[in-house]
Amino acid sequence: MAHLRPLENEEIQDKDITDRFEHYADTRGFVPNSIRTMARRPNIVKAFMALNQACLYEGTVPEDLKMMVSYASSAASGCNYCRSHMANLSSIYKVPDEKIEAIFTCQDSDLFTDAEKAAITLAIKMGMTPNDAQEEDFDELKKHFDDGQIIEIVASVALFGYLNRWNDTMATELEVFPKNVAKRIFDDWNDGKHG
């Protein structure tokens, strides 16, 4: 059970926030409970939503790859809330279910390009505690991505470092849409503390 109840739109006085919530509802079919909870502090939720936009939806790294690296780091950290959300967004960005399911074995899979393998491997290592990112991970990334793109990849994963800590600490309740995607992709899906 969530430690704090997500706010309803009527409880949020800031129109900038509720306008942005409409974007989430239009693109995902729902507004994440994580940001509904954050909305108790408007400056925090606005800063988060701006960072989310900059990390995931701007730049030159394909959005489907950003979704996959965010999924990989969330799964490595053990946050099922973010794991399900990023499986959902990966699916929205046309990543096939079998590819999402194979992310942890990407090095041995023909489903992934060498560039994807390099980015996903770094994301998994970044999601671990302690962080296991090594120089050789960056050497591999540099074969496929320029410096700006590496910043985008690391920023996307780091954004989920924040979200993984937020949602696991708050025991944020999982919404129906990402839960259904997770159940469709993963035979052993368990909401854990997010149920």
Question: Cis peptide before 42, with omega less than 30 degrees from 0?
Answer: no
pLDDT of residue 27: 87
Identity of residue 125: K
Residue 172: name the closest of 89, 107, 112, 84 by CA: 84
Handedness of CA 99, 161, 132, 150 (dihedral sign): positive
Measured distance CA(89)–CA(91) in Å, rounded: 5
Cβ count within 10 A of residue 138: 14
pLDDT of residue 96: 98
Identity of residue 189: W
Measured distance CA(51)–CA(118) in Å, rounded: 24
| Residues sharing a CB contact under 8 Å with residue 165, sequence separation 6 or more, in sequence order | none
Domains of the chain, start order: 61-194 (1.20.1290.10)
Cβ count within 10 A of residue 112: 21
pTM value?
0.96
Q: 3-class secondary structure for 129-160? A: CCCCCCHHHHHHHCCCCCHHHHHHHHHHHHHH
Query: 153-181: string of b/e by CB count within 10 Å (b at 16+)?
Result: bbbbbebbbebbebbbebbbbbbebbbeb
> What's the distance, CA 140 to chain centroid?
23
- Please give the average pLDDT of every successive group of 10 residues along the chain, which has 195 residues: 95 95 91 98 97 97 98 97 97 97 97 98 97 98 98 98 97 97 96 95
